[in-house]
Amino acid sequence: MLIYFRVLKESLAFAINALRNNKLRTLLSLLGVTIGIFSIIGVLAAVDSLKQEIKGSLSSLDNSTIILMRFSFGPTDIPQWKREQFPDVSYEEYQYIKRNVPDVEAASFSLNVGAESIKYGDKLVTGVGIAPVTEGYYNIESLKLKEGRFFNESESNSGSPVIVLGSEIADGLFGNLNPIGKEVRLYGQRFSVIGVIEKEGTSIFGPSKDGSAIVPVNVVRRIYGSNNKSAFPSIVIKPKSGVDIPEFNAVLGQRLRQLRGLKPDDVDNFFINQLSGFTDFVDNITGTMSTIGGFIGLFSLLVGGFGIANIMFVSVKERTNLIGIQKALGAKNRFILLQFLFESVILATIGGLIGLALVWLITVVASQFTGSFEFVLSAFNIFAGLSSSVIIGLIAGIVPAFMASRLDPVEAIRTGM
């Protein structure tokens, strides 16, 4: 066993010495592997960061959450001209679903309206995202309040002029003052501030709740009217935990069809969008990105592998005389084989480490310039990068190393003379 360790040690020493004596050639050989590892791990790190951001943005929502509207999240067989004729969901349908669909933990009716300005005294904040919702929104989104409370069912039904502010809006209007109980102006009306949402940070799905304000939906319904097409509505439903989701969706669809008076052969004129379907869609996109990026990086890595193989063939050619002398002095074939394999693997591993270092450096710099969006370099990606380097080094070096180990010592010495 000790003799094998000695062979490994001597082979490694020969390989390192050969790389040190040919610095320029070693550097050029590293470039291909460095670019390949950088491409593969860079894409994987970017996709992982995107997935982490998506999961963070959706962490407040349960995957079983259902969004009922006349639009579909994904592709559908229903032609566009027919979808354009679908009616919007209504507040009355929201109330009907709350009363008649079993196993509903929370439901909320919301409108999608444009940004507005909110004023307090002489301070004005513009471009505020207004979220008109019902009281169930608090439980569906699992909102965390920094101060105050959310509006209750009575305030929601009556359309009380109350408002819950995002942290940025509260800071912009009140600074260090306590906003609870203060009155702000929105839609030309006075609203009493009853709550402030904890700071969330930026989101890849658009503005976060930090720059928004939440009001009872019936306030906005009185302003916009019930049939305003510019404020398309939706009903968000959170089923109870442990409920069979396909069965729940079937009951929901059946009750809504009955309410709308659809005939048995009529297609649904609404869409039951499952949030898990959206996350699956996002996973498919990120998976495709990983695959495409992986192939691009793989081709770069193969080019690097061919470069190492070429350098190793040149190295064998240059050191043919030395190989012959080593074999004449009793060096075994495995010693020569390991010597060149180590040289190839060391080249590839160093290139991989440089590639990983570049990816890490970029993730650190990018995270500083993108605010709360954090680029991550996971342990799995580091392991994948180093493993790829070792494998490409073994593949690139095996043929030259085998050729070197099979050289006839007499012919090798004669060739080098």
Would you state the pLDDT for residue 62?
59
Per-residue model confidence as pLDDT tens digits over 353-405: 888 888 888 877 776 766 555 677 777 777 877 787 788 888 877 877 777 77
Would you state the pLDDT for residue 8?
55
Residue 3: pLDDT band by 50, 70, 90 thresholds?
Answer: low
User: Is 279 a residue whose pLDDT tops 90?
Assistant: no
Would you state the pLDDT for residue 41?
76
Q: Is 175:122 a contact under the CB 8 Å cutoff?
A: no
Residue 315 belongs to a domain: yes
User: Is 15 a residue whose pLDDT tops 60?
Assistant: no
Percentage of the chain beyond pLDDT 70 is: 73
What CA–CA distance (Å, rounded) separates 132 from 216? 5
Same domain, 199 and 318: no
User: Is 37 a residue whose pLDDT tops 80?
Assistant: no
Would you state the pLDDT for residue 7?
52
Same domain, 45 and 129: no
Per-residue model confidence as pLDDT tens digits over 320-356: 676 677 677 676 777 777 777 777 787 778 778 888 8
Alpha-helical regions (H) of 225-274: 245-260
Contacts of 9 (CB under 8 A, 6+ apart): none
Would you state the pLDDT for residue 130?
92
> Structurally, how many domains does the chain consist of?
2
Would you state the pLDDT for residue 57?
56
Residue 156: pLDDT band by 50, 70, 90 thresholds?
Answer: very high
Residue 286 belongs to a domain: yes
User: Is 63 a residue whose pLDDT tops 70?
Assistant: no
What CA–CA distance (Å, rounded) separates 318 from 166? 70
Same domain, 219 and 285: no
Would you state the pLDDT for residue 352?
81
Domain limit, last residue, from 211, 239, 267: 239
Residue 170 belongs to a domain: yes
User: Is 177 a residue whose pLDDT tops 60?
Assistant: yes
Burial class (CB in 10 A: 0-12, 13-18, 19+), 209: buried
Structure tokens, 171: 């800071």
Same domain, 298 and 401: yes
Domain limit, last residue, from 239, 273, 299: 239
Same domain, 397 and 301: yes
- Helix or strand (DSSP H, E) at 327: helix 320-328
User: Is 280 a residue whose pLDDT tops 70?
Assistant: no
Residue 373 belongs to a domain: yes
Residue 208 belongs to a domain: yes
Would you state the pLDDT for residue 228?
65
Same domain, 175 and 228: yes
Q: Is 34:358 a contact under the CB 8 Å cutoff?
A: yes
User: Is 210 a residue whose pLDDT tops 80?
Assistant: yes
Structure tokens, 107: 């439901």
User: Is 84 a residue whose pLDDT tops 70?
Assistant: yes
Residue 277: pLDDT band by 50, 70, 90 thresholds?
Answer: low
User: Is 170 a residue whose pLDDT tops 60?
Assistant: yes
Would you state the pLDDT for residue 386?
79
Q: Of the ranges 157-166, 206-215, 401-410, which is most confident?
A: 157-166
Per this entry, what is the length of the chain?
A: 417
Same domain, 226 and 291: no
Residue 21: pLDDT band by 50, 70, 90 thresholds?
Answer: low
Would you state the pLDDT for residue 160?
92
Same domain, 175 and 289: no
Average pLDDT across the chain, whole number: 79
Percentage of the chain beyond pLDDT 90 is: 25
Give the three-state DSSP class for 218: helix
Q: Which residue has better confidence, 258 or 307?
A: 258
Same domain, 294 and 391: yes
Would you state the pLDDT for residue 96?
93
Q: Which residue has better confidence, 272 or 309?
A: 272
Residue 410 belongs to a domain: yes
Same domain, 204 and 113: yes
Sign (positive or negative) of CA dihedral 188, 194, 200, 203: negative
What CA–CA distance (Å, rounded) separates 97 from 251? 10
Would you state the pLDDT for residue 97?
92
**Residue whose pair of structure tokens reads 């470039």 in the numeric block:** 31
Q: Which residue has better confidence, 245 or 37?
A: 245
Same domain, 34 and 125: no
Residue 143: pLDDT band by 50, 70, 90 thresholds?
Answer: confident
Residue 9 belongs to a domain: yes
pTM of the shown model: 0.60
Which range of residues forms the domain containing residue 199? 105-239
Residue 21 belongs to a domain: yes
Would you state the pLDDT for residue 108?
94
Structure tokens, 336: 């020569």
Same domain, 110 and 205: yes
